[in-house]
Amino acid sequence: MSILEIRDLYVAVEDKTILKGVNLTVKGGETHAIMGPNGTGKSTLASVVMGHPKYTILSGSILLDGEDITTLAVDERSRKGIFLAMQAPIEVPGVTNFDFVKTAVQAHMPNDKKLRIGKFILDFESAAQDLQMGTGLAHRYLNEGFSGGEKKRNEILQMKLIKPAIAFLDEIDSGLDVDALRIVGENVTAMKSNDLGMILITHYQRLLDYIEPDFVHIMIKGEIVKTGGKELITKIDVEGYDWLKAELGVTELEEIRKPVSLGTCATKVPLK
């Protein structure tokens, strides 16, 4: 069972501070939902934990099973068990879907172990079938010409085969029709176990009807301003986010920001 700890994380992109003191702990077996308006930093949080070099960590830390991974490269984090299903998966012409996933799975194995290709082919086909992805998928180039829904299902296919310990699913429901949403929801729910901690980033209740979260966090302007249970989902669905202003006793959500003092940061770590 893994534990991801995000401690007081401040993150900037191009001199603009996006995350302003995020604290979040996710344990194996738990499913967390992060909701919040557009542009509030949800994807930034997922990208930073995965190690995207575009973001600068101004202060704070990210720990996996007690080890500080704040400065590790993306592939090292991935090998340690962190996974990101991207909001907008990229197309990689020239690399087949099958080769991509095979290489990724091999890279996650201990150096002295070799992938058993026969078994992997069966696992790949079975995962593709579970996700109702069609037979030609293995030999198509990674995400090239895939519909929005196919790209999202392909992220889940990778997750099924890579078997991460901590997974961020960033708006995995966007671009999915009702049937695809059910398929993704059922497949993700089937992966729930004590060996997997999940963070679902979403705007909508409908995904969370399929994948039940244990905790719901609301992120606004780079901070988690409220954490609760499933009751928050319905409230947001019906009332949006304005009620939070009243509850937090502020007229503008800007006011909840804590001052950022870059001069006193313990760690200033531009990720390479």
Q: Which residues bind Mg ion (CB under 5 A)?
A: 42-43, 87
Q: Which of residues 69-128 bind ligand ADP (CB under 6 A)?
A: none
Q: Are 6 and 206 in contact (CB under 8 A)?
A: no
Exposed/middle/buried for residue 15 (C-beta within 10 Å: 0-12, 13-18, 19+) = exposed
Cβ 168 to ligand ADP shortest distance, Å: 11
Beta bridge partners of residue 67, listed in sequence order: 64
Beta bridge partners of residue 135, listed in sequence order: none
* Minimum CB distance to ligand ADP smaller for 16 or for 114: 16
Residue 254 lies near ligand ADP (rule: CB under 6 A): no
Beta bridge partners of residue 57, listed in sequence order: 11, 269
Residue 42 lies near ligand ADP (rule: CB under 6 A): yes
Residue 18 lies near ligand ADP (rule: CB under 6 A): yes
Residue 51 lies near ligand ADP (rule: CB under 6 A): no
* Minimum CB distance to ligand ADP smaller for 30 or for 171: 171
Beta bridge partners of residue 269, listed in sequence order: 57
13, interface contact from ligand ADP, Mg ion, none, CB < 5-8 Å by kind: ligand ADP
Cβ 39 to ligand ADP shortest distance, Å: 4
DSSP state of 214: S
Q: What are phi and psi of 96, to 5 degrees?
A: -75, 155
* Dihedral (Cα; 110, 27, 123, 96), 10-degree rounding: -80
CA distance 208 to 256: 28
202, interface contact from ligand ADP, Mg ion, none, CB < 5-8 Å by kind: none
Residues in contact with ligand ADP by CB under 6 A are: 13-14, 16, 18, 36, 38-44, 54
